[in-house]
Amino acid sequence: MTTTVRRVALVTGASAGIGRAFALALADRGHDLVLVARDTERLEELAEELRAAYGASAEVLTADLSDPAALARVEARVSDRDRPIDLLVNNAGFGTSGRFAALPVEREAQEIQLNVIALVRLTHAALGAQIDRGRGGVINVGSIAGYQPTPGNAIYGATKAFVRSFTQGVHEELKGSGVKCMVLSPGFTRTEFQQRAGFDSSEVPGFLWQDAPTVVQHALRAYDKGRAECVPGPLNTATAVFSAVTPHSVTRRIAGVVVSRSEK
């Protein structure tokens, strides 16, 4: 009798939004899941849905990834060679709104801790075992905000610029190893993100928005092809290309004017 070994994906920030959509799509593709976030009740509900709808096994790992002790528990799970993780999705993240000097610095440091430090440590924890096995991969969730300075969300854009640069650097280092590393850079996506960040997105036209399952479908297609980056959809791609070819001295001024107007 042959037994098929199911692949296992660990998704951070799986309790809502893009992370939840990743968990559902990966279960649909035959993965078992390890679900990480702070809200145990929401994770347990999702785990139950994954078991019932897809026959997937789903492990709940409650952790505040901005807390070093909790992060260390998740790192230990990711690097456990007896229970290998085939795909790590570093998705948990948040943003803050307002002028940097006026924002509480502890919250800004927490944003760097989650969006950058946790993502780096978990990527490192995953890659060691994956390189030894010659397969597996990591998807790091950045943002289109990582393409330019973002006055009004200065730390957020900077963390996402880090994610984009870091992930593409590692992608190149992994060539020939059998292991993949891709950054997903979404634009406006309907999730809880804007509300949690205090972003007023009421002026953002409807055609610029995507839903989380659509973003994830783009991401998984690009990951299958071994891409270094996925910018989901033609509108986000056009924005990314514009930001990439326009000097920061121009994009930061445009963004600064928009922010100043919205503050009036």
Ligand X SMILES: NC(=O)c1ccc[n+]([C@@H]2O[C@H](COP(=O)([O-])OP(=O)(O)OC[C@H]3O[C@@H](n4cnc5c(N)ncnc54)[C@H](OP(=O)(O)O)[C@@H]3O)[C@@H](O)[C@H]2O)c1
One residue of 130, 148, 150, 189 binding ligand X per CB under 6 A = 189
Query: 7 vs 38, which CB is nearer to ligand X?
Result: 38
Q: Which residue is nearest to ligand X (CB)?
A: 17
| Among candidate residues 133, 40, 38, 51, the one with its CA nearest the CA of residue 87 | 133
One residue of 79, 143, 148, 239 binding ligand X per CB under 6 A = 143
User: Buried b vs exposed e over 120-156: b needs ≥16 C-beta within 10 Å?
Assistant: bbbbebbbebbeeeeebbbbbbbbbbbbbbbbbbbbb
- Paired strand residues for 189: 210
Please say whether the beta carbons of 6 and 32 come within 8 A: yes
Query: Is 236 near ligand X (CB under 6 A)?
Result: no
The DSSP H or E segment spanning 48 is helix 40-54
Beta carbons within 8 Å of 205's beta carbon, 6+ residues apart: none
Q: Which stretch binds ligand X (CB under 6 A): 76-84, 130-138, 187-195, 235-243?
A: 187-195
Query: Is 64 near ligand X (CB under 6 A)?
Result: yes
Query: Is 192 near ligand X (CB under 6 A)?
Result: yes
x/- contact string, 94-123, with ligand X (CB under 6 A)?
A: x-------------------x---------
Query: 233 vs 256, which CB is nearer to ligand X?
Result: 233
Task: List residues with catalytic annotation.
Answer: 156
Q: How many residues in the shown chain lie near ligand X by CB under 6 A?
A: 29
Give CA torsion, residues 145, 148, 151, 157, to 10 deg: 40
One residue of 96, 123, 191, 236 binding ligand X per CB under 6 A = 191
State the DSSP code for 115.
I
Provide the 3-class DSSP secondary structure of residue 219. helix
The DSSP H or E segment spanning 46 is helix 40-54
**CA 213 to CA 189: how far, in whole Å?**
10
Query: 43 vs 174, which CB is nearer to ligand X?
Result: 43
| Among candidate residues 118, 141, 138, 117, the one with its CA nearest the CA of residue 129 | 138
Query: Is 41 near ligand X (CB under 6 A)?
Result: no
Query: Is 162 near ligand X (CB under 6 A)?
Result: no
For the bound state, the minimum distance from the C-beta of residue 92 to ligand X, rounded and expressed in Å, comes to 4
For the bound state, the minimum distance from the C-beta of residue 248 to ligand X, rounded and expressed in Å, comes to 19
Query: Is 222 near ligand X (CB under 6 A)?
Result: no
One residue of 54, 162, 166, 188 binding ligand X per CB under 6 A = 188
Query: 133 vs 209, which CB is nearer to ligand X?
Result: 209
Where do contacts with ligand X occur on this chain (CB under 6 A)?
12-19, 37-39, 42, 64-66, 91-94, 114, 141, 143, 186, 188-189, 191-193, 196
